Structure 1
Amino acid sequence: MTTHIFDTIGYRDLANGINDACEWLSDHGLDYPRTRVGEYRRHLNEMADYWEHGRIEELIKLRDFPTLMNSCHEASELSYIYKGLSSFSDLSVSKKLQEFIKGPPSSKNENASSSNRGRNIAFELHMAARFAAAGFTIDLTSEADVIVEILEHEVFIECKRPQQNHQVNSNIKGAINQLERRFPSARCPERARGIIAVAISKVFNPDMFLLNATTPETLSQKLSFITKAFIDHFEPKWKNPTDIRTIGVLVHLGVPAEITSQNLLTNCHEFAIKTTFTNNQGLDVLTEIRDRIHPTA
């Protein structure tokens, strides 16, 4: 089961979105201006101003295109997290946001053992925002990354963001072990379910290059090819786990892209959902996720 996202937004709207998100960070007591988020906000507001005055080429020469592209990509994720989670004011969200703003401006400059923490938390928040925006009840207060109520099941979600291809196997194994430790803490352990969420963007695109495609259709085809290749290669690692309550894997790919026929920059997201069992154990929960998490950013 695969969901595509194709969305466009103007520079001013994107700038307004990150401005609102940054005010939200301030409301949580975070001094974001000196972090990577502060840089994204400055760049997006500059881009809106320069674009409206017909001087965007001047800004590209001043900042360089990859830097501005990165700020757009990162800012769009923060804006989405804000939209999905702005109604949550508990301490657990504040603690996650404290970690979220840390790290270098670009993911290609992360240290795999330390400075990747901010974006790892970002993936957890992104997943939580996706479920919240779809109308699911979520919980961020437990030791699990995210808990979602789906069809009267308490669904534990463990989020993994491997930095390199060779880390995927250990990440999957670690997530399966974590889920098995979570199930006994559920209100009704026998009805608990577990999903592994894997972000493959860093594995696929460690240098944050721009994915080029002629049309939206060919872009979707490229995204599907990338996620399918990942699933085909790693599916044996999660297939038929010992505990039947671990029912599925959600693969997420997020990349900046250009549709060349339209000279259009965009941010792309693809979600692929796979069952862990050959007998489709847990398919009802996974289908509910597919049907309710709509392809809009």
Structure 2
Amino acid sequence: MTDQQANYSKPTHSLPSLSIDDRFSDLEELRSFLEGRGIQTKNTRLDRYQKYLKLASETGLENFDPRSIFKNVTDDRFQHGLDWYLYVLREVDELMLILKGLKQYVPNGVDERLTKIVGGSDFAALDKNTESRNIQFELRVASYFCLAGFLVDLTTDTDIIASKGRYHFYIECKRVSNSKQLEENLLKAKQQLLARMPTKRHLLNKYYGVIAADVTKVACSHNGLTMGITNEHARDVVQDALRSISDKIGRINFFSKKPAIIQCWLQVHIPGLIEQPPQIFTRFSSLFIINPNTQAKSSAALKLVHEATASANLADPRELPPKKISRHLNLPAGTKLWLEPEIDIVFKGAADPELYKKLFQSGADEIDQLAKKTIGGITIKNEEYGFSMLDLVHFLGKMPQADIEELEVRLFGDNHNSRVELLCMMFLHKYPFYESDVKGG
């Protein structure tokens, strides 16, 4: 991980983000929209997401048991408060994207599909009956075109027909469960488009086929979470996965000239963590594979599609502004610090270059053990901040090896200043936006 870290600039600010309360309000708006169309949401997953977000906002992520809300979830991936939050966020943010589109344009045929997605299981990661999530993906794709001012029709055998002016796009959507199904799904989408698109030339109208494929489970087989050192690294992790999938399907003949299937739109929708600074995200990443045989003739149509796919990326005016990351810490008079007496030995174990890598493959019990072992703390103005073995492993896992070795030498020399320095660095790593006694840096 430290080799990868060297390729990315250290961030100076946090990312803009929506609050829990904003997401709660969006769900409330979605439920009002649905119930206004006769679709009940009480005792559905939408109801449970709202109950979860309300408790998360009022008590904090670690101070209640989500299983009291999601009673049927027993999967090992749902362990800690942050796990639950990320999985809920994945669901809520996709529903919010759909709502954004429907607020701009309500397609014919949408009510039946909305009823199906409301009745789906709580989490895509645990979805055994894929119909609800397949339809949700169709509505996600449709929402991009609704936002971009297209007329969208969901009433035909084609998943989506999106029209703007003389341009009409026939879109088939496929959620692919594993790499073995890639070819089968793409060829099936091709046959469906060829059967459903107009074949006769029209003087005014132009017709094009587009395949949209959600390949999240191909990119991340456990349909779980992803991580990145910085925002840019997290973006590249997902984009590299998309490029790898694109390379795998390069040999599949899923394009056509007449009628023209002009593009395959690969998507990954995944929640995850950014380590520097610590933040959560829900990422909607895309990669476009363009039909090389029709690219020149369909350039105007491709431009329209790409403009539509960018329509959902506009900043939300409610976003919390970026916060500056603290680089320096002033310790006021009366500050108390303590560190494990045998910190030299503890440090050596935490600095094992393999431990940080193994951490993400460990079971919850092993992580819990590291989290429960307290190795130091700082008390500032009667506020206590504790640090665990897990905090130390995370901190050292992102430090260059040369710096680790230099600090280790000083700690082994029982240098008081180096121990204070270690505590301060761990504090700023764990609380990057601490403002009370921070100098600008």
For Structure 1 versus Structure 2, the TM-score category normalised by the shorter chain is: 0.7 to 0.9
2-side partners of 1:187 and 1:37: how far apart? Answer: 45
The one-letter code sitting in structure 1 at the alignment partner of 2:169 is V
Superimposed CA distance per residue, residues 18-38 of structure 1 (whole angstroms, 9 cap, x where no aligned partner): 111122121222222322222
Taking only aligned residues, the RMSD between alpha carbons, in angstroms, comes to: 2.5
Structure 1 length as normaliser, TM-score?
0.86
Q: Which has the larger radius of gyration?
A: 2
Report what 2:124 is aligned to: 107
2-side partners of 1:288 and 1:274: how far apart? Answer: 15
Q: How does 1:235-254 map to 2 (within 5 A)?
A: 235-238=250-253, 240-241=255-256, 243-254=258-269
Q: Are 1:27 and 2:36 counterparts?
A: yes
Q: Is the 8 A contact 1:275 1:283 kept in 2?
A: no
Q: How does 1:174-213 map to 2 (within 5 A)?
A: 174-184=188-198, 188=202, 191-213=206-228
Q: Is the 8 A contact 1:154 1:186 kept in 2?
A: no
Gaps of 5+ in 1: 1-5
2-side partners of 1:186 and 1:24: how far apart? Answer: 40
Change (3 A) 1:187 1:91: farther
Q: Are 1:93 and 2:110 counterparts?
A: yes
Q: Choose between structure 1 and 2: higher helix proportion.
A: 1
Report what 1:135 is aligned to: 149
Q: Is the 8 A contact 2:108 2:154 kept in 1?
A: no
1-side partners of 2:107 and 2:263: how far apart? Answer: 29
How far residue 81 of structure 1 moved from its aligned partner, in angstroms, is 0.5
1-side partners of 2:45 and 2:66: how far apart? Answer: 21
Report what 1:214 is aligned to: 229
Q: Is the 8 A contact 2:105 2:147 kept in 1?
A: no
Superimposed CA distance per residue, residues 206-257 of structure 1 (whole angstroms, 9 cap, x where no aligned partner): 4332211111111121121011111111122145436341111111111101
1-side partners of 2:153 and 2:200: how far apart? Answer: 12
Q: Is the 8 A contact 2:150 2:164 kept in 1?
A: yes
Three-state SS of the structure 2 residue aligned to 1:163 is: coil
If asked which structure has higher relative contact order (CA below 8 Å, sep 6+), I would say: 1
Count of matched residue positions in the alignment of Structure 1 and Structure 2? 285
How far residue 187 of structure 1 moved from its aligned partner, in angstroms, is 9.7
The one-letter code sitting in structure 1 at the alignment partner of 2:218 is V
Which segment drifts farther, 61-70 or 258-267?
A: 61-70
Q: Is the 8 A contact 2:107 2:151 kept in 1?
A: no
2-side partners of 1:245 and 1:7: how far apart? Answer: 40
Q: Are 1:287 and 2:287 counterparts?
A: no
Q: Are 1:45 and 2:58 counterparts?
A: no
Q: How does 1:13-24 map to 2 (within 5 A)?
A: 13-24=22-33
Which segment drifts farther, 98-107 or 221-230?
A: 98-107
2-side partners of 1:175 and 1:274: how far apart? Answer: 15
Change (3 A) 1:163 1:240: closer
Three-state SS of the structure 1 residue aligned to 2:258 is: coil
How far residue 7 of structure 1 moved from its aligned partner, in angstroms, is 6.4
Q: Is the 8 A contact 1:238 1:276 kept in 2?
A: no
How far residue 69 of structure 1 moved from its aligned partner, in angstroms, is 1.8
1-side partners of 2:266 and 2:28: how far apart? Answer: 30
How far residue 45 of structure 1 moved from its aligned partner, in angstroms, is 2.2
2-side partners of 1:238 and 1:287: how far apart? Answer: 23
How far residue 9 of structure 1 moved from its aligned partner, in angstroms, is 1.2
2-side partners of 1:39 and 1:83: how far apart? Answer: 21
Which segment drifts farther, 79-88 or 161-170?
A: 79-88
How far residue 105 of structure 1 moved from its aligned partner, in angstroms, is 1.3
Change (3 A) 1:254 1:21: same
Report what 2:242 is aligned to: 227
Report what 1:11 is aligned to: 20
2-side partners of 1:104 and 1:159: how far apart? Answer: 20
Q: Is the 8 A contact 1:41 1:75 kept in 2?
A: no
Change (3 A) 1:168 1:72: same
How far residue 62 of structure 1 moved from its aligned partner, in angstroms, is 6.6
Counting aligned pairs with the same residue, the percent is 21
Three-state SS of the structure 2 residue aligned to 1:86 is: helix
Three-state SS of the structure 2 residue aligned to 1:69 is: helix
Q: Is the 8 A contact 2:207 2:259 kept in 1?
A: no
Q: Are 1:58 and 2:75 counterparts?
A: no
1-side partners of 2:97 and 2:16: how far apart? Answer: 12
Three-state SS of the structure 2 residue aligned to 1:207 is: coil
Three-state SS of the structure 2 residue aligned to 1:41 is: helix
How far residue 154 of structure 1 moved from its aligned partner, in angstroms, is 1.1
Change (3 A) 1:124 1:211: same
Superimposed CA distance per residue, residues 54-107 of structure 1 (whole angstroms, 9 cap, x where no aligned partner): x33213687743233211110111111111113555661110101112332122
Q: Are 1:257 and 2:263 counterparts?
A: no
Report what 1:165 is aligned to: 179
1-side partners of 2:101 and 2:201: how far apart? Answer: 25
How far residue 127 of structure 1 moved from its aligned partner, in angstroms, is 0.6
Superimposed CA distance per residue, residues 2-52 of structure 1 (whole angstroms, 9 cap, x where no aligned partner): xxxx863111111111111122121222222322222222212222222xx
How far residue 291 of structure 1 moved from its aligned partner, in angstroms, is 3.3
Change (3 A) 1:40 1:248: same
How far residue 153 of structure 1 moved from its aligned partner, in angstroms, is 1.8
Which segment drifts farther, 24-33 or 187-196?
A: 187-196
Structure 2 length as normaliser, TM-score?
0.60
Superimposed CA distance per residue, residues 160-184 of structure 1 (whole angstroms, 9 cap, x where no aligned partner): 0012221111110111011111113
